[in-house]
Amino acid sequence: MYSDYAYLIVGLPVLAFVLTIFLGWHLPKGGGFFTVLATFGGFILSYGIFKEIYPNEILHQSMHWFANFNVGILIDPLALVMLLMVTFVCTLIHTYALGYMDGDHGMARYFAEAGLFTASMLGLIFSDNILQLFIFWELVGLCSYLLIGFWYRKPSAAAAAKKAFLVTRVGDVMFLAAIVLLYNNLASLNLTLPPGEYLLQFKVIYQNVAAIPPDQLTYIALLFFGGAVGKSGQFPLHVWLPDAMEGPTTVSAMIHAATMVTAGVYLVARLFPLFYAAPSALLIVAYVGGFTALFAATMGLTAFDIKRVLAFSTVSQLGYMMLALGAGAVVGAASVGVSIFHLIGHSFLKALLFLCAGSVIHAVNTNDMREMGGVGKYMKYTAMTMAAGGLALAGFPLTTGFFSKDEILVVAWEYGSATTDFIPYILGILGALLTAFYTFRLWFVTFTGEPRSDYHKHESPWIMLGPLMVLAFFALFFGLGAQEPFYHYLESNFEHYDVNFEALAAVGQHHIEEGEAAHEPFIIKILPIIVGVGGILLAILFYYPRFRKLDTRKFTTENDPIRRILLKGYYQHEIYTAWFAETVVYGIALLSNMVDIKIVDATLNKISETTVAFGGSLRKAQTGIIQNYILAIIFGVVVLVVLIKLWLEVSI
């Protein structure tokens, strides 16, 4: 019964968008309850569908659109868990926003855009073909742009929005190129598709991957990964994500932590069979993921803006998800389950952390941790829930983050022992240590010690604390209950399409390891626990006033090059903006501009001047005198006769 209304999962938030944008100005709280209810309705529907199709069925509806394209809904295990997570987390965040955004003049605009975002994200997830997915992908990008620049009068917000839009655009262009290339390859196979099936449907793509030439497959997979890199903030296109924190904190929580940025991971997972047949692409996925995981974590060590620390942490965790997918070359479709499990767990805990940070910012009115200190005394609930999120992120045993990250590291180890390439594993384990450290650095610096500035000392209202508690519960205990059935369910995802992984492995010329690599040494088993707890202990020694034994100043000095590099964020601003954007790109832009003005524009101007002047003189033929008009008819007839005669003479 719920399955018949699957389209409403997107329809309800769209309705909320329309209602809030037109009526929100006249309603209390900007009509935000429309968005909350619509998203919650989406959750109910998704849950109903889950009950109906779990564990053995998928839901597929499709209708013809035009030419050889269709629009359709595909809810398989992969899409279903994403739908549940997005509707659930977004409902909580929208509820929280009712409190957080209260009093902002643009509240109606906020909830309208948030509703549109939710709709686009859900549409992206349940698309049954890559073209439709791309359309929603772009819509999601648009909403992200609008919401980062929500306070558009603030120059830094406007600049951040522009940066996010432009940087992700680089990825989007690659995504589009990938679609075109994939379409060309599929079209050249001259498939005869049964009615109701279309070339760009995932089912058709999965089944025909093996027929595409391997070199083409690698290009396609890499271009798709390019799109994912842009959206999911992987190195080197991660630069937009920390700046995106200029938006309201709820936006950061919803778009730039819990949902939209995971779209890239989702894309790679969705196209996993294609990647699987192109192992060199998967290798790059693993390396980029692993490198990003460590690289972003090091930047998290030195940031002072509470939201930026979390942003770097998001980039880093997305790297882990990519790393898990990349290891799929060895472990097969199981890696999708591992990666998506971390994605889901991360969504809970990162939404929680951002909302806690929002709660603190709401009270303290600054983002800078150096001006906080001792906040825990006045905001007990926020401090406790944030601690829960921190433990989960750090991978403290038995929290959600522990299970998911542990599994990723195990997969990375298996990958290493099968290929003797342990670099992704080492990157991952080092990143895990740093993650635990910077998370608790943030917590201790913010919540313990003495206030370092004069801020408002009050706890947030219950409409904000409620969602925090729910998320804290999930961040702590979701992994304990759901882990095993989750892996099992997601691993079955591609069985619904009869994807033959062995044939795909043959295309990619590699083998699935049959479990013999799973006997990792004891030390590998407990290493994640050691680094997780160790990182937390280190943070205690450095930053918790009561047990402070170590001082950062003992280890580094003002002139320490490593410290300077980290503080400067690897000079990325200097490289990307000052050097690349302002020198190289600007130089090229100047040159192109000159060519444009002197040659292209000059020619075009000449042409248009001539055209316009021509029009001006032709206009004079329209004298308004009817005799002249009749003359024109006769003239026309004569000229036509003459021209036709001439033409026939010439051509015969």
Partner 1 sequence: MDLGYYAPLGAEALLTGVALLVVLLGLFVKNKNLGGYLSLIGLGIAMWMVASAKLGTTFFFDTMYVDGFSQFFKAVFLAVSILVVIASLSRYKNHPGQDEYYALLLFATVGMMVVASAIDLITLFVGFELASLSTYALAAFDKEKKNLEAAMKYFIFGAASSALLLFGFSLLYGMTGSTRIADIAAISMADFGPATLVALIFVIAGFAFKMALVPFHMWAPDTYEGSPTLVSALLAAGSKKMGFAAAFRIILVALMALRLEWYVAFAILAAVTMTLGNVVAVWQTNVRRMLAYSSVAQAGYIAIAFVVIGAVSGSTNPDATYISQLGLAGGLLQILGHALMKTGAFIAAGVVGYMVLREGKENPDDIENYAGLGQRAPITAFCMLIFLFALAGIPPTAGFVGKFVLFNAAYDAGLLWLVLLAILNSALSLYYYLRVIKYMYVYKPAGGRISEPKGYVLALLLATIAVVGIGVHPEPFIGWAMQAAAALLP
Q: E strands, 129-207, where? A: none
Cβ proximity to partner 1, 591 vs 607, nearer residue: 607
* Three-class DSSP category at 606: helix
User: One symbol per residue from 62 to 101: x for binding partner 1 (CB under 8 A), - otherwise; what is it?
Assistant: --xxxx----------------------------------
Query: Is the distance from CB of 491 to CB of 337 less than 8 angstroms?
Result: yes
> Does residue number 643 form part of the binding site for partner 1 (CB under 8 A)?
yes
What's the CA gap between 614 and 625, in Å, rounded? 21
What's the CA gap between 178 and 173, in Å, rounded? 9
Span interacting with partner 1, options 177-185, 204-212, 376-384, 615-623, rule CB under 8 A: 615-623
Can you state the angle between helices 130-148 and 214-231, rounded to 10 degrees? 20
Query: Which of 498, 554, 624, 649 is the binder for partner 1 (CB under 8 A)?
Result: 624
Cβ proximity to partner 1, 523 vs 625, nearer residue: 625
Cβ proximity to partner 1, 380 vs 645, nearer residue: 645
> Does residue number 632 form part of the binding site for partner 1 (CB under 8 A)?
yes
Q: How many CB atoms lie within 10 A of CB 227?
A: 27
Cβ proximity to partner 1, 514 vs 649, nearer residue: 649
DSSP summary character for residue 66? E
Q: Please state the closest distance from residue 622 (CB atom) to partner 1, in A.
A: 6
Span interacting with partner 1, options 17-25, 42-50, 199-207, 644-652, rule CB under 8 A: 644-652
Cβ proximity to partner 1, 1 vs 648, nearer residue: 648
Q: Please state the closest distance from residue 479 (CB atom) to partner 1, in A.
A: 44
> Does residue number 515 form part of the binding site for partner 1 (CB under 8 A)?
no
For residue 37, CA distances in Å to 15, 26, 83, 115 come to 11, 18, 16, 10
What's the CA gap between 474 and 344, in Å, rounded? 10
> Does residue number 637 form part of the binding site for partner 1 (CB under 8 A)?
yes
Span interacting with partner 1, options 52-60, 247-255, 296-304, 618-626, rule CB under 8 A: 618-626
> Does residue number 605 form part of the binding site for partner 1 (CB under 8 A)?
no
> Does residue number 606 form part of the binding site for partner 1 (CB under 8 A)?
no
The type of residue at 500 is: N
Q: Please state the closest distance from residue 10 (CB atom) to partner 1, in A.
A: 16
Q: State which of positions 121-140 bind partner 1 (CB under 8 A).
A: none
> Does residue number 614 form part of the binding site for partner 1 (CB under 8 A)?
yes
> Does residue number 644 form part of the binding site for partner 1 (CB under 8 A)?
yes
Query: Is the distance from CB of 369 to CB of 446 less than 8 angstroms?
Result: yes
Residues contacting partner 1: total by CB under 8 A:
31
Cβ proximity to partner 1, 552 vs 623, nearer residue: 623
Query: Which of 1, 456, 616, 649 is the binder for partner 1 (CB under 8 A)?
Result: 616
Q: Which two tokens stand for residue 336?
A: 């999708």
> Does residue number 579 form part of the binding site for partner 1 (CB under 8 A)?
no
Q: Please state the closest distance from residue 180 (CB atom) to partner 1, in A.
A: 17
Q: How many CB atoms lie within 10 A of CB 150?
A: 21
> Does residue number 635 form part of the binding site for partner 1 (CB under 8 A)?
yes
Query: Which of 155, 557, 615, 649 is the binder for partner 1 (CB under 8 A)?
Result: 615
Cβ proximity to partner 1, 586 vs 614, nearer residue: 614
Q: Which two tokens stand for residue 14?
A: 């769209």
Could you tell me what percentage of the chain is helix, strand and coil, using 3-state DSSP and rounding each to the nearest 5? 80, 5, 20
Cβ proximity to partner 1, 66 vs 522, nearer residue: 66
Q: Which two tokens stand for residue 96?
A: 């929280």
Q: Decide: residue 65, CB within 10 A, 0-12 exposed, 13-18 middle, 19+ buried.
A: middle
Cβ proximity to partner 1, 22 vs 152, nearer residue: 22
Query: Which of 190, 559, 619, 649 is the binder for partner 1 (CB under 8 A)?
Result: 619
Q: Please state the closest distance from residue 260 (CB atom) to partner 1, in A.
A: 25
* Three-class DSSP category at 193: coil
> Does residue number 523 form part of the binding site for partner 1 (CB under 8 A)?
no
Cβ proximity to partner 1, 526 vs 646, nearer residue: 646
Can you state the angle between helices 155-187 and 130-148, rounded to 10 degrees? 170
> Does residue number 457 form part of the binding site for partner 1 (CB under 8 A)?
no
Q: Please state the closest distance from residue 632 (CB atom) to partner 1, in A.
A: 4
Query: Which of 450, 502, 516, 648 is the binder for partner 1 (CB under 8 A)?
Result: 648
Span interacting with partner 1, options 195-203, 495-503, 513-521, 633-641, rule CB under 8 A: 633-641
Q: Which two tokens stand for residue 147?
A: 């919401």
Locus of tokens 């240590």: 433
List CB contacts of 149: < 8 A, sequence separation 6 or more.
Answer: 157, 158, 160, 161, 162, 246, 247
Query: Which of 153, 456, 626, 649 is the binder for partner 1 (CB under 8 A)?
Result: 626
Q: Please state the closest distance from residue 295 (CB atom) to partner 1, in A.
A: 42
| Spatial CA neighbour of 269 closest among 313, 316, 221 | 221
Cβ proximity to partner 1, 509 vs 651, nearer residue: 651
| Spatial CA neighbour of 76 closest among 504, 494, 500 | 494
Query: Is the distance from CB of 369 to CB of 305 less than 8 angstroms?
Result: yes
Q: Which two tokens stand for residue 249?
A: 């904190």
What's the CA gap between 248 and 231, in Å, rounded? 19
Q: Which two tokens stand for residue 502?
A: 């062995």
List CB contacts of 247: < 8 A, sequence separation 6 or more.
Answer: 147, 148, 149, 150, 151, 157, 160, 161, 255, 256
For residue 54, CA distances in Å to 87, 334, 476, 490 come to 18, 18, 25, 11
> Does residue number 612 form part of the binding site for partner 1 (CB under 8 A)?
yes
By CB under 8 A, name the binding residues for partner 1: 64-67, 611-612, 614-616, 618-619, 621-622, 624, 626, 628-630, 632-633, 635-637, 640-641, 643-645, 647-648, 651
